[in-house]
A and B are shown apart, each in its own frame.
Chain A
Amino acid sequence: MASGKEIRTKISSIKSTQKITRAMEMVAASKMRKAQDRMRKSRPYAEKIRAVIGHLAHAHPEYKHSYMIQREVKRVGVIVISSDRGLCGGLNTNLFKKALITLKAWHKDNIQVDMCTIGNKANGFFKRVGGRIIAQAPHLGDNPTLEDLIGTVKVMLDDYDDGKIDQLFLVFNRFVNTMTQTPTVQQLLPIIADTEHQQLQHHWDYIYEPESQEVLDQLLTRYLESLAYQGVVENLACEQAARMVAMKAASDNASNLIDELQLAYNKARQASITQELSEIVSGAAAV
């Protein structure tokens, strides 16, 4: 049995670890709230644009933008969004697993994959296991801005325009609630026609300044960027939620460990007192 002193050092080291995990838990909780806020704020923009695009698609049935046309798929582009840092449970692992299943299915169908990674963990993972990464976003940190994403999204859109890729997907964690995050593969291109706005079928159209095609081009680019941005923000909320849960579990585990060790320590102390006593008693009896 370990001596009293040994156990005491162990307890104090676990206590200091627990302090760290507690602090991380609280930091993650407050960051999560902020991230959720940001997630909510980014929604109206995408919804408004979607409504306008839906209307445009109906007003101009004869004009189909290349972003809306299905092509035969030979090569696909994938944007993978991960967290920058670890210590967030199985969040990234689950995401990569989901991505890999999808990638493998394409591999089987002889479809090539071009990748674009956002976040350190995705960089590291796909660098280790291989994969054609054609673009990468910098450290986005806790306050991602749309500006950071323009470059990466543009690389993919240019490739789509040039016919290098025929479909574009976004892989990220969807925020369901604090306890649940679902890894999701979302199709960005070609844009899947929105059926919600069917009832908008009146006979009216916008006045366009300048040409409608040009306006539509700009709108679609912004729409896709905002979707990517939403993915990033949502993933960030997921990261903080997952970290909070993981750190809470770690703190709980630490308390359990401390309880057990405390018990062992008390027993060891009691045993040594008993032993000393019996030694004194037997010593006195011998005199």
Chain B
Amino acid sequence: MAMTIHVDIVSAEADIFSGLAEIIFAPAQKGEIGILPRHAPLLTPLKHGEVRVRKQGGEEESFYVSGGMLEIQPHVVTVLADTARRAKDLDEAAAMEAKQRAEKLLADKQVAIDYARAQAELAEAMAQLQAINRLRKIRS
């Protein structure tokens, strides 16, 4: 029987694949690499592309990743897949957008926190909740 290596493909949002494989092909940043069992430990970013896993018995499964990280240890391969398309300028644009939303929100900018007001508001909400609880207890 062929030697096998354990493969985990995970993304931040879901567990994609976990199992044994004979060989894995992954689109590393400096070119596609094939990983056999007992590969030397390696850490590299991935480009977008296909991760192919040949499972025990020769059946092949492939997964599309839009990027991510690849970690190799002699008996375990971990693919940390990105769920979003990543690029420096894309990230930059997202950051700008987040800032603009905040600016819009604070059109009437009030920088210091009004602690007295915040506390009064919270105290009111808490009192309401407590009153509801009390009412519930009296009733039952």
Contacts and interface: CB of A to CB of B under 8 A. Distances in A.
A2 to B, nearest CB: 19
- Would you call the interface of chain A mostly helix, strand, loop, or mixed? helix
Contacts of A36: none
Contacts of A152: 95, 98
B119 A215 contact: no
B32 interface: no
Given A209-B30, A209-B42, A136 B78 contact: no
A141 interface: no
A135 B99 contact: yes
8 contacts: A41-B14, A90-B126, A130-B113, A136-B101, A154-B91, A218-B45, A225-B12, A249-B136
Contacts of B72: 206
Contacts of A225: 12
- Would you call the interface of chain B mostly helix, strand, loop, or mixed? mixed
Given A48-B78, A229-B13, A210 B84 contact: no
A41 B15 contact: yes
Interface of A: 38, 41-42, 44-46, 48-49, 52, 56, 89-90, 93, 96-97, 100, 103-104, 107, 113, 116-117, 123, 125-138, 145-147, 150-152, 154-155, 158, 204-210, 212, 214-215, 218-219, 222, 225-226, 229, 249, 252-253, 256
Q: For chain B, give the interface size range.
A: 35 or more
Interface of B: 8, 10-15, 28-30, 40-45, 69, 71-72, 78, 80, 82-84, 86, 91-99, 101-102, 105-106, 110-115, 117-119, 121-122, 125-126, 129, 135-136, 139-140
A40 to B, nearest CB: 9
A42 B16 CA distance: 11
A138 B69 CA distance: 27
Contact of B43 (A132, A155, A207): A207
A100 B84 contact: no
A170 to B, nearest CB: 15
A154 B86 CA distance: 12
A150 B126 contact: no
